[in-house]
Amino acid sequence: MATHGADDSMHLLGGTTEKVIRHSKVPVLTIPKEKSLEKLTRLVVPIDFSEHSMQALRAAFDLAKEFEATIVLLNVIELYSAGSDMMPFVPVNIDEQGVYENMMVRLSEYVDEQVPEFQLRQSGVVFRDEMVSTKHPEWKVDLETVVLKGVSAHHEIVDYVDQHGDLLVMSTHGRTGLARILIGSTTEQVARHSKKPMLTIRSLS
């Protein structure tokens, strides 16, 4: 689907794009005005420690393999306000390398259990690894991990991909009704504001 671009897309289309993303059982590719897929070198995949977020990796791996692109795993640590002044509280004890190492453990478990198509191969260099096809070991995709701190996950994701990425790949729960109102959707918020092409994958869980 084509969109009009950041901020305007959902409103100008009467929420059509947002509804398609929410309800579609097949992947949805949205391309903002004046953008293209001719050059894909960095595919950004926001993940936390949930299986839901990691389900976008299958599609990201296939695309990265075809375009010889790098997959960037983006983890955002949300920082919450504290105190009467409601200013953002930034913990000084968050260790990005520790977050990365724990994420690799969780990701390795998920890949081993759920994704037979590829394996995670750690390089020994912090934040730099690779994904390798199990059937064709010569098919390799570079994997870069980025850990950011921010008050809002979707703002950090949008800012990062708009500056450093070519395509955003995210999973969505496809929630509707009261569940959607109460829980909200980071994927929909990102789709509403990002200036880059985006591929959304319906979560199986």
- Side chain identity, residue 18: E
pLDDT, mean over the chain: 82
> CA torsion 40→44→45→47, rounded to 10°?
170
In percent, how much of the chain has pLDDT > 90? 49
Are 160 and 148 spatial neighbours (Cβ–Cβ below 8 Å)? yes
pLDDT in tens, 26-77: 888 988 877 778 889 999 999 988 888 899 999 999 999 999 999 999 999 8
Non-local CB neighbours of 147 within 8 Å, separated by 6+ positions = 75, 77, 96, 99, 100
Residue, of 21 and 136, whose pLDDT is higher = 136
In terms of Cα–Cα distance, which of 163, 135, 187 is closest to 27? 187
pLDDT above 50: residue 118: yes
Fold of 2-202: Rossmann fold (3.40.50)
CA-wise closest residue to 64 among 141, 167, 164, 120: 141
* Helix ranges (DSSP H) in 41-129: 51-54, 57-67, 96-114
**Nearest Cα to Cα of residue 166 among 70, 25, 62, 24:** 70
